Every structure is written in C-alpha cells, then in structure tokens.
Structure 1
Amino acid sequence: MTLGMISSQMTAKAMPADAIVHKWHVFQNIKETRMALGATDRALAILDALLSFHPDTAFYGDSALIVWPSNEQLIRRANGMSPATLRRHLANLVDCGLVIRRDSPNGKRFARKGQGGEVEQAYGFDLSPIVARAEEFKDLAEAVRAEVKAHRLVRERLTICRRDIVKMIETGIEEGVPANWGRVQQTYQSIVSQIPRTAPRQVLEAIAGDLDDLWVQVRDALESFVKTKNLNANESQIERHIQNSKPDFKSESENGFREKNEASGSAAETGNVRSLPKRELPLSMVMDACPNLAWLLKGGGEIRHWRDFLAAAEVARPTLGISPSAWEEARIAMGETQAAITIAAIYQRVDQINSAGGYLRNLTDKAKAGKFSVWPMVMALLRAKLDAAKAAGSGAGEGVVELETAAKVVRTEQRLEISDALRRSLDKPGRGS
C-alpha cells in the first residue's frame, strides 16, 4: 500500500455516476502520455490486455469495471512475457494509478455470481480509473501533442535559419559585401555547435533565438549593400542623362582649365581614380608589391588565396595599431578586399608612416568621396622595387627576381588605359605613402 494507491482509490470513488467514456479512446490518450505518467511500454501492453477482458466498449461510472484474468491468460493476451516481467509491469500500472488492485482473502482473482448468473462480488483489477481520470488523460494528451508540435516547429525553424544564414554568408563573400565574414562564420559555428542531438524544446528555443539575431544582422548587411548599390546606379544614370542632354556644349574656360591641369600634371584625383581600370587587382601582383604580409602567417605559410590574404590583413591590423573602428569604417567605405590591400600596403611601408591609424582614416575619407583607389598604391610599391633593382644591378640571383617584378610592372602599365597626368602623378616621389 502506498499513498499513490490511496489517491487513486479516492479519485475512483469521487467519479460521477453518469460518466461515460470510450475505453479505447482513453487508452489512446494514455499511450500518448505514457512518458508523463511514468508507464512502461510493457505495462501498456498489459493494460491493453486487461481492457480486452471487459466485454463492454463504453465504460460507465456506475458499472462494475473489475476484471479477474489469471496470469496465464494475461501472458497469452499480452503477446507473451515471463511471470516475473508480468508482475513487475502490473505493479507499474498500479503505481501510475491506471488500475486498482481488489485482492481476495487468499490473493486469488475470481468472481462470485448470484442465482441469476450476475456477478455479485469480484476480486482482480479495477479499471474505474479509466473513467475517473479520462478528462485528465485527455488534457494531458493534448498538452503532449502541443509540445511535440512545438518541438518539431523549433527543429524546422533551426534547419531553415541555418540554411539561410549559410547561403547569405556565401552570397556576401561572392558579391564582395563589406563585412567581417570570417567573424560572422565563427559566430555561426559557435552557435550551431551548441545544438545537442537530443534536447528539450526550451534549449532549442534559446539557440534558435541566437540564430535569428545572427540572421537579422547578416540580412541587414546584404540589404544595406543592395540599397547602396542601387542608389549609386541611379546617381550614375542621372549623371549620364545630364551629361548627354547637352553633348555639344563645352565652354572655353572649362577646356582651358582641363588642359592646364593635365599639362601641369595635377589632374583632379577624382579623374585619376575614374581613369583606372574597374577590375580587381590580381592577388599575385598585390603579393609582389606587399611581400611582407606573408611574414604574419603562422609557420611561414604562403598566401595563395584571397581568404589567406584577408586573414593575414586581420593579423596586421592590430600590429599596426589600427583601431577596430577605423578598420570597420575602411571596410565599409572601400570594401573588404580593397581595405585589406590598403592594410598590406601600409604594412609594407610601415617604417615610412608615423601613424598607420590616422593614415588609414585619411584614405577612408577619400574613399567615401570617391577619390581613392588601391591601384596607385600597389603600382607605387612595384615601381619602388623596380628602382631598387636598377640601383642594385641585375647580376645576382636576387636581381633576377627584381627584374621579373619590373617586367610585371611594365606589362601591367601596358594593359592600363590611364591618362598622362595620372602616369606623371604616379611617378612623383612619395606617391601612395
């Protein structure tokens, strides 16, 4: 005897006499709430067998609901199990309050019938908790179904959010959207690594919330880039429309001013930048101009891909004493690759620059005004190597390497379509520093 058994008996006595339930409907609710009730699967198989021994499908609150099968009959109808297993799981049904024991004086299960053949007294298992707790089982089953649905939905939410974030990160890297995508990937991996194989819904909800926040950040970065791109495209279209509206009108003062500037070699920086090619610099050319960046790789590694170059620039930034805010502004204004090339050029000539952070902010301001390009910086570094090679002579093996670099400079200049004024400005001492 336990307090739980007494509680079950009290519940059975308190059930209304006019209560009526469908025993198999209640049994279905019990199966769905098995874990919450603490019932075992084998115990439910025995309960199924006990219910089958009662001839009625509808259970009434005022009817006799005691069945008295022997252990052998239960074992056969419960698909076979050992007597010890049967006793253990019968005890589980009693502990869960699903059945009540009605023991005879000698512990046997039987029924006494009257003269008319009706059962007057029975000893066995009382199934009245099926009726008394039917509403409880129904409410509990609905709660379990709701929890299962919520668990499935949060799993689906995690899957969709993970897929979207990965695709957006790939898009941002491929399209050159200015953002620290390496850090975004690290944040994503740290969140995903917390997802356990089996976990309660509350844990998954918390992880899904972190992924939602990251999704919003990545989406905002992509949308801001698209809006900026569309705005620039509209401005350039309006500018072309204004320029083409009067194609034959050119003032003499304007022509004279342009000729004077080009003759003196001091053309406007905006014109110089626009005359440079719009394509990206090759990685090999950047590394020829900025070989010192490779020193920052662990184990003396080699920079073969842009991702290696970006990683090395991330290491160079604190080495140069550049603040994270200055680095972030440069990436937004120039783009991640262009900003990394600028860092590499600064690192290459760090001994000639007093304040790397202030210099980067100055270049960032020029980039915001559309007056900056990394092409002159890289070309100036390559020309410096060419001048050094000429001064040192080309007899030694190192001279051969420098001459190869010089040949690349010559070939690059032949491919560029730039103005004479820009070429003269690139030749000036200290250009790009």
Structure 2
Amino acid sequence: MPSAQSSGWRALKPTLPAWVEPEIADKKDLFEASHIAARVLRLPSSARFVLDQLVGCYRGELVEGRILVWPSNEFLCERTGIPERSVRYALSRLIEEGVIVSKDSPNGKRFAQRSTQGQIIRAYGFDLSPLLGRLDEFRDRLAAIKEVERERSLAFDELTINRRAAQEALRTLAEVYPEEDIAELTARALELARVTPRRSGAGSADSALDAWKAIKQEAEARYYAASAGNSCRHKDTNKYAPDQSCNNASENVRAEAPKPVANVEDLVRACPDAMEFIGEVRSDRDLIMAVSRQRGMYGVSPSAWEEAGREIGLLGAAATLVYVVQLQARPPKGAQPIKNAGGYFRALVRLIKNGEVDLANEIHRLLRR
C-alpha cells in the first residue's frame, strides 16, 4: 500500500480564518500588517521582534505563489538579541495565532532550492501569506480597539473633571465655612481618591464616577446650606434692608482684602531669575497657582504658606516668595547669600504684616537695579 507523501506544510487549526494566495506582496503592506497584528493580537515583545525580522527577510518575490522566508534560528537570535528558546516560543505563538504558516523540509532545515538559471523554485521556512491576507481584518479590529479607547478616554476625562470639582468644593467649604463639620465627607473623598482607577491602569472609570458626583453634589449642597443660598458672607449685625445686606457685606470683605503689592509684569521685569524657575504666568491667578505648586522646592512648608496667605493675601505671599527666590539667586552687592529661603520667607511675611517692610518698594527697587 503506497504511503502518502507529506507536502511539508503544517495544517492550520480549523477555527482560524481562511486566506487566499496573494497575487502581489508589497513589503510596506507586510510591515503595516505586522505592526497592526502585534497590537490587535497583543503579541509579546519576543513575537513582535521575530515577526518584524521575518517580514524584513522577504525579498519581494513570491515563491510557489506564496510569501516564503527561510531565516535560521541563529539568524533570528542574532537580529533580535533574544535567546533561541524565546525565538522558538515566538514562532510557535505566531503559528498558533494564524499569522504565519510553517513549511518544514524533510530534514527540518530552512532553505531554498534554485534552478539551473539561479531562480528560486522551492523553499522551506515560513509563509507570511496569512499575515497579508488578514490585513483588512486587522484594520477593522484596530479601529474597534481605538473606538473603545476613545470612549474610555472620554470617561476618564469626565471622571477627572468631577474629581477635581469635588475636591475644590471641599476646599472651598473648609476655607469659607471652617465651622462646618466635613470630616466624614473629607474622609470619604480621601478613601475614594485612594481606590479610584488610574487612566494608565485597566480599571473602568464608571465605578468611581458616580461616587465623585455624589461627593461634589453633597459638598455644594452643604456650602449653599451654610450660606443660606447666597454666594457671599453675611454679617451678624445687619442694619440694612434684606436686599442690601449681601452686597454691603461683599464690599466689606473686598475692603478688608490686602492690597496687591505688585503685578505680574513688574515681577517678571524685577525678578527674571526667579520667574525663570516659576515658569510662564499671564495673570495673578496663574502666579499664585504656579508659586503654590513649587513652594516646597524652596523650603516653604504648608503651614508657612497658609500663614502667609492669611496675613498678606495669596498674591502677596506669591510675590514675596518670588522676591526671596530672586534675592537667593542674585544677592545684592554686599549682602549675605540666603541659605534658608523658607525661613527668610516666613520672617519677611511677618515684617510685611507689621509694616516694617514695604514689599512694593522693595520690588520697585529691584527694577531700578
């Protein structure tokens, strides 16, 4: 009884999609298919490296109507820099995913046979035709993945907005109405911040989104309840009509606010070295936010910053720290260099509050230097 002769091809799994023999194979399309397949199939790094090298070995000519390449394991190890065991695993993974097909020779080697004219007529190695044949499929799957990623990004954007709004509402409530007991609400926010999934992780934003919305709504409700539905503070000794008390109290609050010591333009011109560290600012609010984020770099503790904000206002505190950093970076002639910027800042704030130092004059003096 005659025995069946093997063709050298390993059979694909029946569940894998069918592919057709290519009429023409562009190397650019092969590289595109390999990169998309690596992302869609979530191939490990070793499989991606090996697949790139297999595509790179293609010479642009079909052999037996197929895209055949025949690099040795030694060649793949040298080009990818990974051990042979990892190369074997990567090839098995690519065959299992239906990206390539193996055509084995009788002796297990990979090589090509040439005619007397030098043309390749037969080859044993790996066939990349399935990779090119599934290019449209990989493109569709990649588009679906990108759509899911877009929706996830939008969900995390909404989560970030609500989280920051809730935290800002809690900070405002604590600053404006310190007598309000929000310890339980703050503890909930801290615990929620600890368990909230990160954008870089694999978690979903939906689980924490509703919780942050609830905290924000509760904080805002507590704020409006404490202010009796008004957006400004009320005075206990109210001698005005009900429709005038709110505006008069607001005027008093504004009248008691510290007078600005300098504007952003003056600080930029007077303290160029300090502003280079602080970064670009366009308004008083930008200056306050930038300095408050970087105050720890100069040894200013949170308590010192809060004290300065209470005593001379946040803008005054920001301008004072910029002034101190400028003196530290470029001391005046004959002056000792500042070794402890945080201590100097706290001492200067108290002198400004007591009227012993006029920061506006000091800043304008720097302008004349």
Mapping for residues 22-421 of structure 1, pairs under 5 Å: 22-35=29-42, 39-56=43-60, 63-78=65-80, 80-176=81-177, 181-195=182-196, 199-202=201-204, 204-223=205-224, 228-229=229-230, 236-237=240-241
Count of residue pairs brought into register by the alignment: 232
How many Å separate the matches in 1 of 2:35 and 2:130? 15
Structure 2 counterpart of 1:47, which letter? L
Measured after TM superposition, the shift of residue 51 of structure 1 is 0.4
1:34·1:40 contact (CA, 8 Å) conserved in 2? no
* Distance in 2 separating the partners of 1:72 and 1:19: 26
Mapping of 1:7-18 within 5 angstroms?
7-8=15-16, 11-13=18-20
> What secondary structure does 2:230 align onto?
helix
How far the C-alpha of 1:73 sits from its partner, in A, is: 2.0
Whether the aligned pair in 2 keeps the contact of 1:161 and 1:211 (CA below 8 Å) is yes
Counterparts of 1:175 and 1:181, CA distance in 2 = 12
The 1:178/1:11 distance shift into structure 2, 3 A limit, reads farther
Calculate the TM-score normalised by the size of structure 1.
0.45
Q: CA deviation at 1:120?
A: 2.2
After superposition, the Cα gap between the structure-2 partners of 1:22 and 1:2, relative to the gap in structure 1 and judged at 3 Å, is closer
Question: Structure 2: which amino acid aligns with 1:25?
Answer: E
Amino acid at match of 1:113: R
Q: Which has the higher helix share?
A: 1
One-letter amino acid matched to 2:67: L
Instruction: Tell me which residue corresponds to 2:294.
Output: none
State the one-letter code of the partner of 2:128. Answer: L
Gaps of 5+ in 1: 242-433
Counterpart-to-counterpart distance in 2, 1:100 and 1:240: 84
Instruction: Tell me the amino acid that sits aligned with residue 47 of structure 2.
Output: A
Q: Secondary structure at the match of 2:229?
A: helix
Once residues 213 and 120 of structure 2 are traced to their aligned partners in structure 1, the CA distance between those partners, rounded to angstroms, is 65
Residue segments in structure 2 that go unaligned for 5+ positions in a row: 1-8, 246-369
Residues 175/32 of structure 1: CA separation in 2 closer, same or farther (3 Å cut): same
Distance 1:151 1:225, change over 3 A: same
- Matched-pair contact (CA < 8 Å) for 1:177–1:222: no
Deviations 1:170-216 (A, max 9, x none): 211222289652232233234233335675343x3211222123223
Separation of aligned partners in 2, 1:199 and 1:49: 31
- 1:277-310, CA deviations, whole angstroms, 9 ceiling, x for partnerless residues? xxxxxxxxxxxxxxxxxxxxxxxxxxxxxxxxxx
Q: 1:83, CA displacement in angstroms?
A: 2.2
Q: Is the 8 A contact 1:5 1:100 kept in 2?
A: no
Contact 2:10 2:104 in 1 (8 A): no
Pair 1:17–1:237, CA change in 2 (3 A)? farther
- The verdict on how the C-alpha distance between 1:117 and 1:185 changes in structure 2, with shifts beyond 3 A counting, is same
- Contact 2:10/2:101 (CA < 8 Å) preserved in 1? no
Alpha-carbon spacing, 1:235–1:149, altered in 2? closer, same or farther (3 Å) = farther
2:96, 2:165 → 1: CA distance? 49
> Does the residue aligned with 1:106 lie in a helix, a strand or coil?
coil
Q: 1:175 to 1:90 in 2, by over 3 A?
A: same
Q: CA RMSD in A?
A: 3.8
Conserved 8 A contact 2:110-2:124 = yes
Q: CA deviation at 1:92?
A: 1.5
Partner of 1:278: none
Identity %: 23
3-state SS of the aligned residue for 1:97? coil
The two structures have a TM-score, normalised by structure 2, of 0.52
Check conservation: 1:68, 1:110, Cα contact below 8 A.
yes
The 3-state SS of whatever aligns with 2:113 is strand
Mapped contact 1:110–1:123 kept (Cα < 8 A): yes
C-alpha deviation, 1:30, in angstroms: 2.2
Tell me: CA distance 1:92–1:192, structure 2 relative to 1, closer, same or farther (3 Å).
same
Structure 1 residues 48 and 221, CA gap change in structure 2 (3 angstroms): same
Which amino acid is 1:72 matched to? E
**Rg larger for:** 1
Partners of 1:6 and 1:239 in 2: how far apart? 81
Structure 1 pair 133/142, CA: closer, same or farther in 2 (3 Å)?
Answer: same
Question: In 2 relative to 1, CA 196–232 (structure 1 residues): closer, same or farther, beyond 3 Å?
Answer: closer
Q: 1:6 to 1:114 in 2, by over 3 A?
A: farther
